[in-house]
Structure 1
Amino acid sequence: MSSKKPAKNSLQANLDRLEEIVRQLEDGTIPLENAVELYEEGIALSKECAEKLKAAELKIRKLTKSADGKLELEDLE
């Protein structure tokens, strides 16, 4: 089994690769060993995507000025 970690790519690149992996696995014509490696790669990519989305969620904040002129972070809804 390969212990390859996916390179840190953009979210879109990771999603594209995940779609490609799903297509290959659904095809059902690849050997079991390759399928397991693809599955492992897919899980790693999925975790990386989740981390990127969580980081983006934390960054999506709106600065607002309070009555006393201080800037505050406010979650966007």
Structure 2
Amino acid sequence: MSDETPVEKLSFEQAMAELEQVVAKLDSGDVPLDQSIALYQRGAALKKACADKLAEAEEKVAQITLDAEGQPTGTEPLDTQ
């Protein structure tokens, strides 16, 4: 994955993979300060993109699990797992 690809163009899986790479690079401690700052900014954007995509997916799941009257169809809430 290239940090030149706009974050909004990445799938959730691509963003997560790149975020893991960013974290690994920052954890290594072998990155110059300027590059560390750029990596941190990219990582923050990737984290936000992942969180946004997860929230969107949760909303879709919530809509799917409601009946025509907006009542739960007997499924468990998402946060009980």
**If the length of structure 2 is used for normalisation, what is the TM-score?**
0.72
Q: After superposition, give the CA deviation of every residue in 1:11-67 in whole Å (9 maximum; x if it has no partner).
A: 111010000001100111111000000000000010111110111110002243xxx
Q: Which runs of 5+ in 1 are unaligned?
A: 65-70
Runs (4+) of structure 1 exceeding 4 A deviation are none
Return the structure number with greater helix share.
2
Percentage of matched positions with identical amino acids: 35
Moved more, 5-14 or 20-29: 5-14
Return the structure number with greater strand share.
1
2:69 to 68, 72, 75: 72
Q: Which runs of 5+ in 2 are unaligned?
A: none
Distance apart, 1:8 and its partner CA: 2.0
Superposition CA RMSD, Å: 1.9
SS at match of 1:33: helix
